[in-house]
Amino acid sequence: MNLGWILLLIGIILLAVAVKMLFDTYAFLDKAILTRGRVLELDTRSSTDSDGDLSYSYYPVVEFTNSRGNLVQFTSTLGRNPPGFYQGQEVEVLYNPQNISSARIATFGEIWLGTIIVAIAGAVFGAVGIFLLLKPM
């Protein structure tokens, strides 16, 4: 199979995944309740790059009270360095009352960044694939 076709196929698959993520996010936002929470701590995770250099990412652990009065904790799926939040900081939280594990900090990055990254990757793969298919040999 030609490299152009492979890249185009990867691009189409990634764009389809981005569309699914988009619809899932809209469905989440449609059902989500907005409340206030507090960053309890920063979960520090380390990783090593290809050169062997150690780096750290900081994932906020957030606590909030749901609509039933229960205390809920979750760890954000988006880690940053430098940290995007600090211990004790009040944050807005979105959560689906039927699925507490869906809780997210109510920021643009926490809600949309994954979808945007997958869509851009799909567009780039697809565009390079089309370019290679249309390029005269």
**Spatial distance between the Cα atoms of 124 and 129, rounded to a whole number of angstroms:** 8
pLDDT of residue 107: 94
Counted residue by residue, the chain has a size of 137
Model's pTM, two decimal places?
0.82
Domain boundaries, the chain: 3-134
Give the C-alpha separation, 92 to 129, whole Å. 41
Q: What is the pLDDT of residue 133?
A: 92
| Regions of the chain with pLDDT less than 50 | none
Write out pLDDT tens, residues 118-136.
Answer: 999 999 999 999 999 998 7
Q: How many beta carbons lie within 10 A of that of residue 53, not counting itself?
A: 8
Q: How buried is residue 64: exposed, middle or buried, by Cβ count under 10 Å (0-12/13-18/19+)?
A: buried
